C-alpha cells in the first residue's frame, strides 16, 4: 500500500508513530480523496430517502437521519440523489439542488453532520429517461436518444445540440451550490442509466452528431460536465464519479468498456471512482441488489478497473459484513468500501466494527420492504429490521424516572424489540414465549430459499436481549394465572396475527 498514493499515511509516517500501518485494521486506515482526508475506508453510498418537501427542501427528518449515521462513524456520507432540474426527478419528495434558495437548508444539513463529527458528499443527478413520468410532463422527458425505458414506459425525446449546454450548466450551477452549502465532496453518476450514462452507453445513445458514435463522442457530454463542475468547485475539491462495471443490458457497457473509461476519467481530474452496476430502466436488480442476488459480486470487476488507474476505487453491492470488506481491501480489489442499505439497518456498523463488536451488528437482508416498497408508497425510506430508521427526529429512547416491571407476551421480532427497548429505558422486563425458540412466524420466512439472511434479525435480537438484561422464559404459555403470579405493572401483548 505504501508504494502507491492510495495510503494517506506514508510508511515513514507510520514508522514514526511507532508502528506498521498494516498493523491497523485496514478498514480504519485513513484515505485521501483530493484534498479531503477521511478517517476510515467506509463510504455510505447514495440512498433515495424521500424525506423532502415537494419543492425539494431539506427537512429535519433528513438532518436527523444523516446525523445519526455520522454519529455511527461513517467515514464519508453521500446524500440521496439531488436533482439538478425538476425534469430529472424520480421522487415527489426528493432533495433538490436546482435553486439558490435551497442552499440555506443544505447548509443546515452539512453543519449538523459536521457537528456530529462526520463528512458529507453531495450526489447531484439528472435521471433523464428514468425520471418519474408522474412528475415530468411528456415533452420534458429527455435523454441522449428516444430509446424506450421499460421500467416507467417512457419514450424520451433527444436533447438538441442547442439544449446540451443548458444541461451542462445545470450540473455546474448545482456544483456551485454544493460548494456554497459547505459539502466536503461532490459525486456525479456516470451510472445506473441516468442522463450522463444515457449519453455514454451505446444502448441509449443512437446519435449521429458529435455526441454519438465512438466512445470519444459518447463521453463528450460527461467530459463537459466534469470540466464545468471542476471550474465551479475549484482544483483539489474532491470529485467522485460513480460508474458502472457492467450494465447488464444488451448493447450496453461491459467490463472492458469500464476498464477503458476509468483512466479517461482520471485524466479529466476525477479524484475517485465508485463502482456499481445496472440501469434503472432495464436491469434494476443489478442497481438495487434485492435478496437472492449475488453478494459482493462486483469485487473482481472493481479489481480489474482498479488496475487501470491510480486514484482510489470504491465498490459497493451486497457487502454486508466487515470480514468481506476487509478481505476486499487486503486483496487489493478496492481502496474504499461502499455500503448503502446496511446503514439503514444499523447506523452503528462502523462504530461496532471498530470496537470489535461485530456480533452486535444488525445486518441488512436486502428485503427492500422498507427502503423500496415504502419509498414507492410515498412514506419515505424505512427499514423492516430497524424501526428507528426515518424516525430519528421523532423517536428518542430515553431513560425512565420510575422503572416498572414489564411482561412481554410473544417472542417474535415485535415482542423481542418491545422487550429490548423497554429494557434500554430502564424497565425490568420478562419475555414469555410459548415455543421452545425465539423468532415466532418470522422463522418460517427465513426458511424460504434465498431468505436465510432473515435469520440475522433473530440472531441480533437475541444478542440485544442478553445485553439489556431481559429475562426470557421459553415454553411458557401465558394464561391469566401466569399474569396474576408475575404481578407486572404492564403487559405488552405481541402474539402476532
Rounded CA-CA distance 7/311 in Å is: 11
| HEC assignment per residue over 132-197 | CCCCCCHHHCEECCCCCECCCCECCEECCCCCHHHHHHHHHHHHHHHHHHCCCEEEEEECECCHHH
Q: State the Cα–Cα distance between residues 212 and 92, nearest whole angstrom.
A: 32
The answer to whether 468 touches 417, Cβ cutoff 8 Å, is no
Distance CA 404, CA 402 (A): 6
At 133, phi and psi to the nearest 5? Answer: -65, -20
Nearby residues of 43 by Cβ (< 8 Å), 6 or more positions away: 74, 75, 76, 78, 274, 314, 316, 336, 337, 338, 339
Same fold, 11-376 and 405-493: no
C-alpha distances (whole Å) from 92 to each of 125, 414, 428 are 15, 31, 44
**Closest CA relative to residue 201, chosen from 185, 188, 213:** 213
Beta-carbon contacts of 401 under 8 Å, excluding residues fewer than 6 positions away, are none
Torsion of CA 207, 213, 218, 224, to 10 degrees: -80
Beta carbons within 8 Å of 172's beta carbon, 6+ residues apart: 225, 228, 229, 231, 232
Per-residue pLDDT of the chain (497 residues; tens, 9 = 90+): 333 444 443 333 333 333 444 457 999 999 999 999 999 999 999 999 999 999 999 999 999 999 999 999 999 999 999 999 999 999 999 999 999 999 999 999 999 999 999 999 999 999 999 999 999 999 999 999 999 999 999 999 999 999 999 999 999 999 999 999 999 999 999 999 999 999 999 999 999 999 999 999 999 999 999 999 999 999 999 999 999 999 999 999 999 999 999 999 999 999 999 999 999 999 999 999 898 888 999 999 999 999 999 999 999 999 999 999 999 999 999 999 999 999 999 999 999 999 999 999 999 999 988 898 888 888 899 999 999 999 999 999 999 999 999 999 999 999 999 999 999 999 999 999 999 999 999 999 999 988 999 999 999 999 999 999 999 999 999 999 999 999 999 999 999 86
Q: Quick one: CA torsion of 8, 347, 456, 327, rounded to 10 degrees?
A: 0
Which residues form the catalytic set? 194
Task: Check if the beta carbon of residue 121 is closer than 8 Å to that of residue 186.
Answer: yes
- Give me the torsion for CA of 468, 471, 474, 477, rounded to 10°: -120
The C-alpha cell at 285 is: 436488480
Listed by start position, the domains of the chain span 11-376, 405-493
CA-wise closest residue to 457 among 340, 354, 369, 339? 369
DSSP states of 29-48 as a string?
Answer: S-EEETTEEESSSEEE----
Give pLDDT, residue 497. 67
Q: Are 322 and 350 in contact (CB under 8 A)?
A: no
Kind of pairing, strands 36-38 and 313-315?
unpaired
* DSSP 8-state assignment for residue 294: P
Compute the half-sphere exposure of residue 149: CA atoms within 13 Å on the CB side of its CA. Answer: 29
CB of 349 closer than 8 Å to CB of 319: no
**CB of 292 closer than 8 Å to CB of 450:** yes
Which CATH architecture group holds 11-376? Alpha-Beta Barrel (3.20)
CA angle 274–368–395, rounded 5-degree value: 100
- Please answer whether residues 317 and 298 qualify as being in contact, where contact means their C-beta atoms are separated by less than 8 angstroms: yes
Is residue 192 within 8 A of residue 88, CB to CB? The reply is no
Residues 62, 58: Cα–Cα separation, whole Å: 6
Residue 315, classed as helix, strand or coil, is: strand
| Size (the chain), residues | 497
Q: Structure pTM? A: 0.93
Does 3.40.50.720 match the CATH number of domain 405-493? yes
CA nearest neighbour of 291 among 209, 381, 366: 366
Amino acid at each position: 500500500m505504501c508504494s502507491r498514493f492510495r495510503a494517506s499515511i506514508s510508511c515513514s509516517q507510520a514508522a514514526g508513530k511507532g508502528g506498521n500501518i498494516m498493523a491497523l485494521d485496514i478498514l480504519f486506515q485513513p484515505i485521501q480523496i483530493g484534498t479531503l482526508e477521511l478517517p476510515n475506508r467506509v463510504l455510505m453510498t447514495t440512498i433515495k430517502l424521500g424525506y423532502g418537501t415537494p419543492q425539494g427542501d431539506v427537512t429535519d427528518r433528513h438532518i436527523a437521519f444523516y446525523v445519526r449515521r455520522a454519529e455511527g462513524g461513517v467515514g464519508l456520507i453521500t446524500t440521496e440523489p439531488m436533482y439538478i432540474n425538476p425534469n430529472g426527478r424520480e421522487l415527489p419528495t426528493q432533495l433538490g439542488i436546482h435553486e439558490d434558495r435551497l442552499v440555506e437548508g443544505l447548509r443546515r444539513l452539512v453543519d449538523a453532520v459536521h457537528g456530529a463529527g462526520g463528512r458529507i458528499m453531495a450526489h447531484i443527478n439528472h435521471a433523464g429517461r428514468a425520471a418519474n413520468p408522474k412528475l415530468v410532463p411528456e415533452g420534458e422527458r429527455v435523454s441522449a436518444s428516444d430509446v424506450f425505458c421499460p421500467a416507467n414506459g417512457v419514450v424520451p425525446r433527444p436533447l438538441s445540440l442547442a439544449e446540451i449546454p443548458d444541461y451542462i450548466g445545470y450540473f455546474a450551477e448545482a456544483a456551485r451550490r454544493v460548494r456554497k452549502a459547505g459539502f466536503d465532496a461532490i459525486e456525479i453518476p456516470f451510472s445506473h442509466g441516468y442522463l450522463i450514462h444515457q449519453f455514454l452507453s451505446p444502448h441509449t445513445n443512437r446519435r449521429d452528431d458529435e455526441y454519438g458514435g465512438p466512445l470519444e463522442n459518447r463521453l463528450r457530454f460527461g467530459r463537459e460536465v466534469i470540466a464545468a463542475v471542476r471550474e465551479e468547485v475549484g482544483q483539489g475539491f474532491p470529485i467522485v464519479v460513480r460508474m458502472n462495471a457492467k450494465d447488464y443490458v444488451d448493447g450496453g457497457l461491459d467490463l472492458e468498456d469500464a476498464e477503458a473509461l476509468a483512466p479517461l476519467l482520471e485524466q479529466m481530474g476525477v479524484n475517485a471512482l465508485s463502482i456499481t452496476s445496472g440501469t434503472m430502466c432495464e436491469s434494476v436488480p443489478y442497481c438495487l441488489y434485492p435478496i437472492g442476488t449475488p453478494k459482493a459480486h462486483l469485487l473482481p470487476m472493481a479489481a480489474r478497473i482498479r488496475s487501470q488507474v491510480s486514484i482510489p476505487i470504491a465498490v459497493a453491492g451486497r457487502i454486508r459484513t466487515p470480514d468481506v470488506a476487509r478481505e476486499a481491501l487486503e486483496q487489493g480489489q478496492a481502496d474504499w468500501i461502499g455500503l448503502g442499505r446496511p446503514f439503514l439497518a444499523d447506523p452503528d456498523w462502523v462504530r461496532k466494527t471498530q470496537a470489535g463488536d461485530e456480533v452486535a451488528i444488525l445486518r441488512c437482508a436486502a428485503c427492500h420492504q422498507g427502503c423500496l416498497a415504502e419509498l414507492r408508497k410515498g412514506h419515505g425510506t424505512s427499514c423492516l429490521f430497524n424501526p428507528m430508521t426515518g424516525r430519528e427526529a421523532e423517536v428518542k429512547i430515553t431513560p425512565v424516572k420510575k422503572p416498572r416491571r414489564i411482561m412481554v407476551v410473544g417472542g417474535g421480532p415485535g415482542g423481542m424489540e418491545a422487550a429490548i427497548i423497554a429494557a434500554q429505558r430502564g424497565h425490568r422486563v420478562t419475555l414469555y414465549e410459548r415455543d421452545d425458540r425465539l423468532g415466532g412466524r418470522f422463522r418460517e420466512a427465513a426458511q424460504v430459499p434465498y431468505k436465510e439472511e432473515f435469520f440475522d434479525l433473530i440472531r441480533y435480537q437475541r444478542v440485544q436481549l442478553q445485553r439489556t438484561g431481559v429475562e426470557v422464559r421459553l415454553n411458557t404459555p401465558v394464561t391469566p394465572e401466569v399474569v396474576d403470579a408475575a404481578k407486572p405493572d404492564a403487559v405488552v401483548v405481541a402474539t402476532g396475527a
